[in-house]
Amino acid sequence: MRFLDFVRQQGYIPYHGTVSASVYAYFRCENPAKARWFHRPGSYQCAGCAQQCETDSPDGFQIFLLTEQRNA
């Protein structure tokens, strides 16, 4: 099974936010341009190379505010 298929089966979805350079420095990433981040509640997983870096810390990941749309 391909790693991307496994990640998706585990409930991860593509992460489209900005990732700080500090995240790549922490993981000693040699090629951040290849990073492909996925997210599920409480976890961020990269599938850009064989290292398959994963963290449960949201530090360095752009936070999205979800807003509820109400009828006025």
Structure tokens at 39: 């997210």
Judge whether residue 5 has pLDDT over 80: yes
Judge whether residue 72 has pLDDT over 60: no
| 18 neighbors 59 (Cβ within 8 angstroms) | no
pLDDT band at 64 (very low <50, low <70, confident <90, very high): confident
Q: Are strands 37-40 and 43-46 parallel, antiparallel or unpaired?
A: antiparallel
What is the rounded CA–CA span in Å between residue 63 and residue 17? 8
Global pTM reads 0.82
Structure confidence by residue, pLDDT tens digits, 14-58: 999 999 999 999 999 999 999 999 999 999 999 999 999 999 999
Judge whether residue 66 has pLDDT over 80: no
Residue with tokens 């505010």: 65
